[in-house]
Structure 1
Amino acid sequence: MINFCTLFNSAYLSRGLAMYQSLLRHCDDFHLYIFAFDEGCLQTLRDLKLEHASIISLEEFEDDALLAVKPERTAGEYCWTCTSSTIWYCIHEYGLESCTYIDADLLFFSNPKVLIDEMGTSSVLITEHRYTPRYDQSDLSGIYCVQFITFKRDEWGLAALSWWRNACLEWCFKRFEDGKFGDQKYLDDWTTRFEGVHELNHPGGGVAPWNVQQYSFLKRDKRVMLREIASDNIADVIFYHFHAFKYAQGNVFHLTEDQYDIADDAVQFLYKPYAQAILEAENLITSVSSQAIFHEPLFNLDWVNRVYGRKFSFMLTGRYKNYFRRRKLLSQ
């Protein structure tokens, strides 16, 4: 069995549930430990009675060390602070041999077991950002992305996890300072700082807006696959990271930050399935609670509507930059 953990609040509820549902479709044997970061999220998740998930409240999870730093961190910074502690909690509270943290805004397109298997006898698995050169933010955001990170319950795995947890308790902010940024830049030197750290090789683990330009996408036998443009190698897409995906006014989705170029084939094979997964998650949520909050406040689109050319183009095509009308994404 693969043990995963994640954390999110009501603002990410539909995304987190879509991620869980994608694991149900593609992972034969897994359990997901979900840390619910507000009461509404906690209650809705418990009402959903997810068969392959355990729902953990802040009251159960937070210890004195976390509570001591919580007042000085923003909500986002506190989530980053807690990431390593969720893994630590799962390994020790449930006696797990290993645990993989996954971001709530991932969607799985194939079985992630292949990624875990790749680490072999290593104790820690980390994933590179693999930035497209024009988007390289390694100096600020780090070489590696916390999105999918595995620790085994052995000497090297626990040593790395304990060090990371203590570092995040000491400092975890959304600013660059003394070579640090959030929880993520701490990972930069792990392949030399710790024994038993494996850097993921599989190209289908960690596809994201900052590297999607390096691939074209296709479908074979119902499997979403990528072709590396530089090498022409083909591989399964294991998961995509829907970073900065936002709900916007007027039944619009903002796919990601506008700096990132998202090609039509990525929209077709990645973002359209995600929109469908989000819709299905929303329907599940509203089936147990019509009043549940499951996304962030709607992003304001007045800046689009103020300019006639933008407004007309959006009306005509259903798309402006990385803004898409929901119906366009849900169409075949």
Structure 2
Amino acid sequence: MKRRYCTYFDHVYLDRGLAMIRSLRRVDPEGSISVLCLTPAVHRVLSGLGEPGVTLIPLEEFERENPDLLAAKETRCLRDYYFTLTGSLVYSLLREAQPDDVVTYLDADLMFYSDPAPIHEAMMGASVGVIGHRWHWWTRRLLKYGRFNVGWVSFRADAVGTEAARWWRDRCIEWCYGCVDGDLFADQKYLDHIFARFPNVVEITHPGANVGPWNICRESIRRAADGSIIVGDNYALIFVHFSGLKEVRPGVWLGSLPSYLGPFSSIVRSDLYEPYIGLLGDIRKELGGLPSEPPPMLSISVRPRLWRRLLAPLMRQAHRWAGHYFHS
């Protein structure tokens, strides 16, 4: 079985994408990574770096091979169009894969800390592998956005896995928006449907997989004697999903979205978030800064509702209490 990974990002996420790729190559050097370059700057920079094991796919070339994506592009804002691409990328790579190969989609804002072999072992014999959010008590109300998280999704190149990916691709082209509409939400809640609709789909429950702000308060996190990071009883930390991390002003980062109010422990701050933010800074220095170019299409700008603007000072104070602010 060959491990084939894929991801996509634009130049705004170039530092995160590089951090993810390099951390994955460090713990799984035999895996290959295909990157759908969402802007020309990403393709230009990654071509110059020549990261080992990485194959680049220009967005324009991918769109030519998938003309139905172009039709959907006319109906989507930038963010929603990016969501629309996920299933198409996975399905495209599955069609090129050898029987029993596994194609795994990865979000660009992941960071790997140990070999993902336990995830692949949990999927042995399965056609699709999905990872649940494993909500902590405060975030369980967010189930409307999907039981499973799209940060890591694996499909085997067998009949069921390929058909499930094709179904995901087609559904995303039909409807893929960053809002809840009945039992739909972006590309993510389709995973709930795949889990219920297709046979041979397994939920990967390893506590060290997809540790994110929605579950980071659920399990204890500590340093082992050998320096590795342990989650829960005695599970190696495999990867962290730094979802919602944003630079609110130069040098100041907000470590989670308002929905995830669980406080960060000292080890989460000092051993996960602060080194990750430092790594992003190092990559920016290596690149001479992030490339600057306009996006390929305009995003829709929505002004926050009045109640959100009125509550903003209280939310900022809550973030300070919870330890969500970081300085690079």
TM-score, scaled relative to structure 2: 0.85
Cα displacement string for residues 62-84 of structure 1 (whole angstroms, at most 9, x for unaligned residues): 12110010011111111111001
Residue 130 of structure 1: aligned partner: 134
Q: 1:94 to 1:193 in 2, by over 3 A?
A: closer
Higher mean C-alpha displacement, 58-67 vs 85-94: 85-94
Q: Find the aligned partners of 2:141 and 2:163 in 1 and give their Cα distance.
A: 28
Over the matched positions of the two proteins, sequence identity in percent amounts to 30
2:71 alignment partner, SS class:
helix
1:61–1:89 CA contact under 8 A, matched in 2:
no
Q: Residues 134 and 167 from structure 1, CA distance in 2 versus in 1: closer, same or farther, beyond 3 angstroms? A: same
SS in 2 for 1:198: strand
Query: Where does residue 101 of structure 1 map in the other structure?
Result: 105
Match of 2:299 in 1: none
- The letter for the 1-side match of 2:291 is A
**Partners of 2:141 and 2:168 in 1: how far apart?**
21
The match for 2:3 is: 2
Partner AA of 2:251 in structure 1: N
Q: State the partner residue of 1:52.
A: 53
Supply the distance in 2 between the matched residues of 1:279 and 1:2 (Cα, whole angstroms): 30
Q: Provide the residue aligned with 1:22 in structure 2.
A: 23
Counterpart of 1:267 in structure 2 is: 269
CA displacement at 1:138 relative to structure 2:
4.5
Alignment deviations for residues 226-261 of structure 1 (CA, whole Å, 9 cap, x no partner):
12xxxxx22111000000111232411111124422
Could you tell me which residue of structure 2 aligns to residue 65 of structure 1? 68
Aligned: 1:224 with 2:229? yes
Q: Using the alignment, how far apart are the partners of 2:188 and 2:113 within structure 1?
A: 25
Secondary structure of the 2:186 match is coil
Instruction: After TM superposition, give the deviation of residue 92 of structure 1 in Å.
Output: 2.1
Q: Distance in 2 between matches of 1:57 and 1:280?
A: 26
Where does 1:213-252 land on structure 2 (aligned, <5 Å)? Answer: 213-220=217-224, 221-227=226-232, 233-252=233-252
User: Cα offset for 1:106?
Assistant: 0.4
- Corresponding pairs, count: 302
Distance, in Å, in 1 between the alignment partners of 2:96 and 2:125 is 23
Cα distance change on mapping 1:291 and 1:175 into 2, 3 Å: closer
What aligned pairs does 1:152-301 form with structure 2 within 5 A after superposition? 152-220=156-224, 221-227=226-232, 233-258=233-258, 259-261=260-262, 262-286=264-288, 292-293=291-292
> Cα distance, 1:292 vs. partner?
2.1
Which residue in 2 is equivalent to 1:82? 85
2:304 aligns to what?
none
**What is the alpha-carbon root mean square deviation over aligned residues?**
2.5
Q: Which runs of 5+ in 1 are unaligned?
A: 228-232, 297-302, 327-332
Kept in 2, the 8 Å contact 1:217–1:269? The answer is: no
Following superposition, the deviation at residue 263 of structure 1 comes to 2.0
Q: CA deviation at 1:321?
A: 4.4
- Which secondary structure does the structure 1 equivalent of 2:184 belong to? coil
- Give the aligned residue type for 1:224: I
**What CA deviation, in whole Å up to 9, does each residue of 1:85-117 have, x standing for no partner?**
111122224657221000000000111122112
Alpha-carbon distance in 1 for matches of 2:252, 2:96:
41
How much has 1:182 moved relative to structure 2? Answer: 0.6
- 1:214 aligns to what SS in structure 2? coil
1:285 Cα shift? Answer: 2.1
